[in-house]
Amino acid sequence: MKLHLWAATIAGGVLSAGSMFIVAVLFRLTGGSGERFLRLCDGLFPLYIPHHGVANLILGLVNALIQGAIMALIIAWVYNLCVDLLSKKGAAKPQA
């Protein structure tokens, strides 16, 4: 069974940006919860700095959305390629 590339791309972007958004909101509300995750995001997403306001958060979310979507697209494409190769390999074997 193959993955739908468009659906995987949207899901990856939403998951990436959504997780960053939830942790950032918790960080703002609790005053420190999730700081390690946000510092990790600081290293992964250029121009994102965890403690610099809402505009910077939106920039980080857009960046997370784009990077998550690209990574999910690549993973789904590789998965579909492997499924195609394995199904052709299995079809070439003669049945006993």
- List, for residues 26-43, the tens digit of each pLDDT value: 877 787 777 777 777 777
The whole-number pLDDT of residue 90 equals 67
Domain ranges of the chain: 5-88
What is the C-alpha to C-alpha distance for residues 3 and 43, in angstroms, rounded to an integer? 30
Treating both helix axes as pointing N-terminal to C-terminal, what angle do 35-44 and 5-30 enclose, rounded to 10 degrees? 130
Tell me the average pLDDT across 16-27.
84
The whole-number pLDDT of residue 87 equals 85
Task: Say whether pLDDT at 70 is over 90.
Answer: yes
Q: What is the pTM of this model?
A: 0.76
Task: Say whether pLDDT at 96 is over 60.
Answer: no
The whole-number pLDDT of residue 94 equals 58
Ramachandran area for residue 92 (φ above 0: left; ψ -120 to 50: alpha; else beta): alpha
CA nearest to 23, candidates 1, 5, 4, 45: 45
The whole-number pLDDT of residue 74 equals 96
